[in-house]
């Protein structure tokens, strides 16, 4: 079978489905795929793509390429069709995959396309460009963003798309004068494999089933560029999201919910009311039972809010954990009534009114995934069901034994609970729906309420939209871009480190604000850590959240008992963030070879330069 040469406007695609070898040449540089794609079946047997039954040109009014059909997979009676083509509009290269005839849960994962070879001779140099970044590298959307230099092997586990491993469904590579952005164009049922070979990382998409079947076409998009860096990759993905109609800016969210404006420039105050640790929880203190139950009254928290106001704090966003009957992470989705010993519904209303009276925003923690056995609402009929007809089990968190609420049922409980707050006269101004934008998207095989991962994303967004319709500011933990159109605040989106919560953690690769380069003007993303502090969740032991907040044009956390000096420092960071809230971040730069001096540039011209060793900050206005 002949090798196909397909020419685009700027690049050439060489395709040979006979041995599954593909390459793209742009500006004299060639990116090649040389591995055989494969299917891994549920019995863990692996069958590489066989010789195709047929190969023929694939041509439409918008695409030019080649398609192949494969059927020789031994005892597995499936038909696999691939199409590889250039889309004429902008030279995007697409790899598509369709499988027909598979039985339920017969397939575990499918590797297609194979990873691009990074290319021998590009790694091991250790040289930096005049921009103080490596000559060649891989870009991963791992938390805020990660750049992995070629020639330097960094142990990284395989990842899930739409989880902490991949906030955005993208990756990319840059090799001297060319690079590419890879987009999982069908992003909901896919993982990825990482391997280090021949001087660089190999990134391999691995498609997984949806409710047990490869039930729809899977598609990868590759956009090739000349003379690019990670900033350009981010800009291309931002353009892609806009083209698909999935880009929703903060300004648009504020039009839909005017209370969003109140959030801009607010420091974030996160504290709690009550905790109760179940004997079934992995956190239970068997030898020190007095640690398992404690509370601070709503009235005491109200006095702390008054004290902050008296110290000159004019606005803030407050977040209170553990307001419910048994405290934090208990009884969901029905934690009512408010904690009796802390003051009950009357005390919670007093706190809400005090927060509002100080000009602050009253927000709470809430949960609609962990589904506790001792909740008054619990029934296995509404829990997630897996492919075997069983229900997931967990007992890590404070509330002890629980399953997971099916995402299809979650919106009903959100509607009920916020109507209940209204009945109690408690004015909820903001709500954090825990884990909705960080944990993997759930599948539910229940015949009564089935849900694919894509439907799970829609269901989670619906929960956030219910809050928005009530004028409540919706938030969650970290950021998945499939949830982002309905989310206004995340509680952190820091970097991937070798010990995420450790004070002495080290960066994994080079840290780049990839997510902010795409979405800075779409969400409020605070950082944890006052001036002079070092380390923390997603913050390396050398860095401070204070410095990252300034650099990223984001607000900062503030403790409820902060002193005047700390308040003033946090307010200065937040005022900078407020000025930039609606501005896109257009560039990030390393200004020193050791990476300790960095600069960001925003679309209205503001440049922020931060020295991470000294915490010195220079802001040059774009006005």
In angstroms, the CA 267 to CA 317 distance is 6
Q: What is the pLDDT of residue 121?
A: 64
Residues 167 and 72 sit within 8 Å (Cβ to Cβ): no
Q: Quick one: CATH architecture of 4-243?
A: Distorted Sandwich (2.70)
Q: Decide if 17 contacts 55 (C-beta within 8 A).
A: yes
pLDDT of the residue at 129: 77
Residue 482 falls in which region: left (phi positive, over 0), alpha (psi -120 to 50) or beta? alpha
Q: For 156-160, 289-293, 319-323, 477-481, which range has the lowest pLDDT when averaged over its residues?
A: 156-160
Q: Look at residue 532 and tell me whether its pLDDT is greater than 80.
A: yes
Residue-level pLDDT at 367: 98
348-379 tens-digit pLDDT: 999 999 999 999 999 999 999 999 999 999 99
Average pLDDT over residues 106-135: 82
Q: Is the peptide bond before 180 cis (omega within 30 degrees of 0)?
A: no
pLDDT for 122 equals 67
Report whether pLDDT(609) > 60: yes
Average pLDDT of the segment spanning 476-486: 97
Environment class of 288 (CB within 10 Å of its CB; exposed 0-12, middle 13-18, buried 19+): exposed
User: Is it the case that residue 198 has pLDDT exceeding 80?
Assistant: no
Examine the pLDDT at 126 and tell me if it is beyond 90.
no
* pLDDT bucket at 310, cuts 50 / 70 / 90: very high
Q: What is the mean pLDDT of residues 565-577?
A: 98
Q: How many residues does the chain have?
A: 623
Q: Lowest-pLDDT range, 330-339, 343-352, 499-508, 598-607?
A: 499-508
What is residue 120's predicted lDDT score, i.e. its pLDDT?
64
Name the average pLDDT for the chain.
Answer: 95
Could you give the CA distance from residue 222 to residue 598 in angstroms, rounded to a whole number? 29
Q: Burial code of 478-500, b = ≥16 C-beta within 10 A, e = fewer?
A: bbbbbbbbbbbbbbbbbbbbeeb
Please, which pLDDT band fits residue 123 given cuts at 50, 70 and 90?
low
- For 191-205, letters b (16+ CB in 10 Å) and e give bbebebeebbbbbbb
Q: Taking a C-beta distance cutoff of 8 angstroms, is the pair 586, 570 a contact?
A: no
- DSSP states of 40-104: EETTS-EEE----SEEEEEE-SSEEEEEEEE--BTTB--EEEEEEEEETTTTEEEEEEEEESPPT
What's the confidence (pLDDT) of residue 371?
98
Q: 344-357 vs 298-310: helix axis angle to the nearest 10?
A: 10
Whether residue 523 has pLDDT greater than 60: yes
Q: Judge contact between 44 and 31, C-beta under 8 A.
A: no
Residue 476, pLDDT above cutoff 80: yes
**Is a pLDDT exceeding 90 seen at residue 259?**
yes
DSSP state letter for 479: -
**What are φ and ψ of residue 172, in 5° steps?**
-165, 170
CATH class for the region spanning 250-366+417-438+471-620: alpha beta
**Does residue 298 register a pLDDT over 90?**
yes
Question: Looking at per-residue confidence, does 93 or 122 come out higher?
Answer: 93
Has residue 508 got a pLDDT over 70?
yes
Question: Average pLDDT of 410-426?
Answer: 98
pLDDT given for residue 270 in this prediction: 98
Cα torsion through 7, 13, 17, 19, rounded to 10: 140
DSSP 359-405: T-EEEEEE-SSEEETTSTT--GGGB---TTS----B--STT-SEEEB
Q: What is the mean pLDDT of residues 15-21?
A: 94
pLDDT at 196 over 90: no
Give the DSSP letter string of 440-465. Answer: PPP-B--SSS-B-HHHHHHHHHHHHH
Domain chopping of the chain, boundaries: 4-243, 250-366+417-438+471-620
pLDDT bucket at 177, cuts 50 / 70 / 90:
confident
> Looking at residues 289-318, what average pLDDT do you find?
97
Better-scored residue on pLDDT, 207 or 501: 207
Mean pLDDT of 307-315: 98
Which whole number is the average pLDDT over 229-254? 98
Half-sphere exposure of 620 (CA within 13 A, CB side): 7
Helix ranges (DSSP H) in 258-343: 260-263, 298-310
* Mean pLDDT value of segment 78-93: 96
- % of the chain with per-residue pLDDT over 90: 90
**Span 210-222, pLDDT tens digits:** 999 999 999 999 9
Question: What's the rounded mean pLDDT across residues 558-587?
Answer: 98
The H-assigned helical ranges of 178-297 are: 230-243, 250-256, 260-263
Question: Residue 154: what pLDDT?
Answer: 83
34 vs 223: which has the higher pLDDT: 223
């Amino acid at each position: 079978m002949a090798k196909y040469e397909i020419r685009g406007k700027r690049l050439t695609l060489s395709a040979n489905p006979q041995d599954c070898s593909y390459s793209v040449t742009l500006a004299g540089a060639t990116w090649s795929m040389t591995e055989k794609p494969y299917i891994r079946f549920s019995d863990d047997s692996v069958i590489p793509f066989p010789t195709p039954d047929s190969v023929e040109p694939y041509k439409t009014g918008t695409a030019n390429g080649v398609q192949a059909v494969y059927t020789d997979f031994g005892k597995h009676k499936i038909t696999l069709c691939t199409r590889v083509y250039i889309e004429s509009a902008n030279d995007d290269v697409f790899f598509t995959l369709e499988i027909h005839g598979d039985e339920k849960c017969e397939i575990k994962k499918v590797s297609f396309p194979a990873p691009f070879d990074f290319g021998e001779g590009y790694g091991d140099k250790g040289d930096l460009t005049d921009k103080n970044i490596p000559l060649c590298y891989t870009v991963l959307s791992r938390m805020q963003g990660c750049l992995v230099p070629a020639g330097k092997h960094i142990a990284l586990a395989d990842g899930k798309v739409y989880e902490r491993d991949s906030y955005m469904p993208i990756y990319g590579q840059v090799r001297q004068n060319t690079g590419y952005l890879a987009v999982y164009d069908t992003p909901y049922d896919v993982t990825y494999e990482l391997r280090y070979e021949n001087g660089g990382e190999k990134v391999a998409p691995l498609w997984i089933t949806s409710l047990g079947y490869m039930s729809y076409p899977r598609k990868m998009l590759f956009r090739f560029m000349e003379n690019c860096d990670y900033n350009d990759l981010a800009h291309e993905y931002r353009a892609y999201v806009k083209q698909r109609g999935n880009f929703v800016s903060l300004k648009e969210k504020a039009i839909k919910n005017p209370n969003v404006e109140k959030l801009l420039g607010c420091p974030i105050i996160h504290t709690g009311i009550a905790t109760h640790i179940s004997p079934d929880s992995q956190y239970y203190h068997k030898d020190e039972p007095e640690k398992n139950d404690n509370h601070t009254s709503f009235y005491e928290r109200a006095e702390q809010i008054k004290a902050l106001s008296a110290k000159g704090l004019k606005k803030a966003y407050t977040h209170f954990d553990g307001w419910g009957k048994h405290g934090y992470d208990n009884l969901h989705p029905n934690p009512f009534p408010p904690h009796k010993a802390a003051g009950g519904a009357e005390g919670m209303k007093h706190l809400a009114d005090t927060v509002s009276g100080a000009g602050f925003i009253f927000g709470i923690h809430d949960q609609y995934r962990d589904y506790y056995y001792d909740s008054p609402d619990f029934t296995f009929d509404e829990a997630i069901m897996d492919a075997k007809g069983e229900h997931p089990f967990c007992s890590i968190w404070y509330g002890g034994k629980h399953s997971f609420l099916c995402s299809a049922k979650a919106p009903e409980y959100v509607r009920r609970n916020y109507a209940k707050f209204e009945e109690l006269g408690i004015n909820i101004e903001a709500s954090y729906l825990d884990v909705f934008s960080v944990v993997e998207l759930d599948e539910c095989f229940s015949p009564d309420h089935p849900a694919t991962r894509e439907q799970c994303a829609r269901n989670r967004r619906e929960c956030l939209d219910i809050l928005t319709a009530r004028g409540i500011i919706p938030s969650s933990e970290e950021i998945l871009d499939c949830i982002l159109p309905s989310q206004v605040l995340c509680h952190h989106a820091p970097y991937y480190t070798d010990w995420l919560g450790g004070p002495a953690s080290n960066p994994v690769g080079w840290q780049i604000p990839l997510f902010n380069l795409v979405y800075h003007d779409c969400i409020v993303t605070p950082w944890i850590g006052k001036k002079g502090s070092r380390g923390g969740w997603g913050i390396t032991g050398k860095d401070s959240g204070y410095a990252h907040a300034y650099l990223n044009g984001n607000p900062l956390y503030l403790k409820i008992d902060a002193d005047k000096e700390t308040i003033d420092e946090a307010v200065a960071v937040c005022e900078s963030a407020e000025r930039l809230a609606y501005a896109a971040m257009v560039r990030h730069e390393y200004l020193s070879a050791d990476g300790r001096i960095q600069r960001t540039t925003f679309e209205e011209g503001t440049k922020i330069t931060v020295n991470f060793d000294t915490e010195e900050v220079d802001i040059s206005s774009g006005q």
